[in-house]
Amino acid sequence: MSDMRESGRTIPVPAGGWASGPVLLSELTTEDLAALLDGTPAVALIPIGSTEPHGPHLPLATDALLSEECCRRAARALRDRGIAAVVAPTVSYGVTHYARGFRGAIGVRAETLLALLHDIGGALLNDGFAQVAFVNNHLEPEHVAVIERAVESLSAERGPACVSFPNHLGKRWGRTLTDEFKRGNCHAGRYEGSLVLATRQELVREEVARYLPSLDVSLSDEIRKGGSVTFHGIGMDRAYTGAPAEATREEGEKSYARLVEMIVTEVTEKLAEEGDNTSRGQIPT
């Protein structure tokens, strides 16, 4: 490919190179991508969400929309730092047992999700990406555990510097997010509502959200108690907890800034790891 570029034949990369080209992998042509991967270590951000109920006021795709927006913003921030980053097509189905009994909870089995993430990650690495990063906003523990398993298997096969999972459920980043998030009232309340408002306001039923009473059900407390959790079983009768009426665009912008900082930090740390050639085939803990 580089010969074709050097000989001046048409490769439709924008004049500014990858830095000014589309951020979505799906909008590139095969030749755009070849040129991008030819030049510099590149990162593919993989948005992961779910298709499940988020109260009477937020769309079923909420988690996927949040991950896509985090990835778009993080890709631009990485490009500003000279790192070629693109956003891969979204994985919009997750493991969604908690939402059982509500219309629109369209989940897949853990093994299905694991195979999908492993195969997508492996294909992107085969294509020449230096790193794949899983960016997730569906916080059900079994779903998150599947992503961790995909990270472990890709790390074992391809080296730990090839894959990252900036995870805001971990101690390092969770404490940087809002109080409602930290209390565990983090499904379709103020935290998630603010994030949707900041990017897809037209999808929020604001006239409904305004009148929804606050609900103090902590998903993290319920999970800690053990046993099988469902929204219905813990009193989330309309598939939300927290304070939807308090959501604002401003808070959403602040939360995106934190989430993007998390992604950019973890991705650049992994790239430095690979650059230092310090990987010794260990699975990160």
Residues lying near Zn ion in the complex (CB under 5 A):
62-63
Tokens of 245: 């009426």
Q: Which is nearer to Zn ion, 164 or 185 (CB)?
A: 185
The residue assigned the tokens 């799906």 is 26
Asked if 163 and 131 count as a contact pair (C-beta separation under 8 A), the reply is yes
Please say which residue, 67 or 164, places its beta carbon nearer to Zn ion. 67
How near is the Cβ of 54 to Zn ion at its closest, in Å? 6
CB of 117 to Zn ion, least distance (A): 18
Nearest approach, Cβ of residue 242 and Zn ion (Å): 11
With CB atoms as reference, the residue minimizing the distance to Zn ion is: 63
Distance CA 150, CA 118 (A): 5
Nearer to Zn ion, 76 or 205 (CB): 205
Q: How far is the CB of 188 from Zn ion (least distance, A)?
A: 6
Radius of gyration for the chain, computed over Cα atoms and rounded to the nearest angstrom? 20
Q: Which residues of 99-113 are buried (b: 16+ CB within 10 A; e: fewer)?
A: beebeebebbebeeb
CB of 237 to Zn ion, least distance (A): 17
Minimum CB distance to Zn ion, residue 201 (Å): 17
Dihedral sign for Cα atoms in the order 217, 204, 143, 165: negative
Query: Cβ closer to Zn ion: 63 or 273?
Result: 63
Q: Among residues 62 and 92, whose Cβ is nearest to Zn ion?
A: 62
Pairwise CA distance, residues 180 & 241, whole Å:
10
Which helix (DSSP H) or strand (DSSP E) does residue 136 occupy?
strand 131-136
Smallest distance, Zn ion to C-beta of residue 192, A: 5
Alpha-carbon gap, residue 197 to 11, rounded angstroms: 38
Quickly count: other Cβ atoms within 10 Å of residue 138's Cβ: 26
What 3-state DSSP class applies to 218?
coil
Closest by CA to 118, choosing from 161, 149, 86, 85, is 149
If we measure between CA atoms, which residue out of 170, 183, 238, 192 comes closest to residue 70? 192
Write out the E strands in 151-236. 163-164
Considering the complex, state which of residue 62 and residue 131 has its C-beta at the smaller distance from Zn ion: 62
Residue 76 or 97 with smaller CB distance to Zn ion: 97
